[in-house]
């Protein structure tokens, strides 16, 4: 979920700001929840980015660790 500011309708500024800050917090939490969780299977449709393989159920080549996926070459490269 990406953060997209809601339009301000001129009503209570404090309620608007409270709601917006909650939406920002939710978006940040969503990013945190979805980043670098240990995976036990390869992603179905990976995009450029980092993935954390468990090294047992899913081993892209160098065991447990972080891999960078490159869409251009369709490969996972061990990062560490």
Instruction: Enumerate the domain spans of the chain.
Output: 1-35, 37-80
70 — pLDDT class (breaks 50, 70, 90): very high
**In the predicted structure, residue 58 carries a pLDDT above the cut 60:** yes
The alpha carbons of the chain give a radius of gyration, in whole angstroms, of 18
b/e map of 39-68 (b: 16 or more CB within 10 Å)? eeeeeeeeeeeebbbeeeebebeeeebebe
pLDDT per residue as tens digits for the range 8-56: 888 889 999 999 999 888 888 777 666 678 899 999 988 888 899 999 9
The pLDDT value recorded for residue 29 is 78
What are 78's strand-pairing partners? Answer: 67
Between residues 23 and 75, which one has the greater pLDDT? 75
The pTM for the full model equals 0.58
């Amino acid at each position: 979920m990406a953060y997209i500011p809601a339009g301000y309708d001129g009503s209570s500024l404090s309620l608007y700001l409270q709601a917006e800050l909650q939406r920002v917090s939710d978006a940040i939490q969503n990013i945190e929840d979805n980043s670098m969780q240990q995976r036990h299977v390869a992603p179905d449709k990976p995009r450029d980015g980092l993935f954390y393989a468990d090294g047992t159920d899913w081993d892209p080549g160098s065991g447990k660790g972080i891999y960078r996926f490159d869409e251009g070459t369709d490969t996972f490269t061990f990062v560490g």
